[in-house]
Amino acid sequence: MSQELDLANKWLDFTIESFVENMRKLRIQDTGTLMASFKKQVIGSAEGRLQLQLSYALYGKFIDMGVGRGMGQGVRRGDDGYDRIRTSRGRLRRKERKARKWYSREMAYQTKRLAELMSELHGTVLISSVSDALPAQDVTIIF
């Protein structure tokens, strides 16, 4: 169980580093709030199952998909930030939104990699358990 916890913590650390690196490559660091919003947790249960929890700011998903209003929640016509982002007719000043895939591809790859690492770990543990259970002397089988 401790090997699984170590592996899960290392995987979460590496995954967060990969996400931050992707954001830097794609220049998604307006204020740095999204990069600082990552939180991770590994929860072990009595049945020996692990639960990994990775959370980040919600607007990061909108950046990944290339959608959203382009304004903070609660900004209305006449507010300070409105004129900076939208025209008097309500249209966005920038031409178009573009999906910046910092999350989806990396998460698919990292999830697959975690599955491979866990199966490798369990395979190694299984082989060592079987070899420990075998008797120390030669075993003769007669058919």
List, for residues 28-55, the tens digit of each pLDDT value.
877 788 889 999 988 876 667 778 888 8
Residue 121 neighbours by CB distance under 10 Å? 14
| Integer Cα distance of 67 and 85 in angstroms | 15
**Exposed/middle/buried for 13, CB within 10 Å: 0-12, 13-18, 19+?**
exposed
Would you write out the chain's pLDDT as a tens digit for each of its 143 residues?
677 888 888 888 999 999 899 889 988 877 788 889 999 988 876 667 778 888 888 888 888 887 765 655 666 677 766 666 677 776 666 656 678 888 888 888 888 888 888 888 777 665 666 556 555 555 555 54
Q: How far apart are the first and last CA of the chain?
A: 40
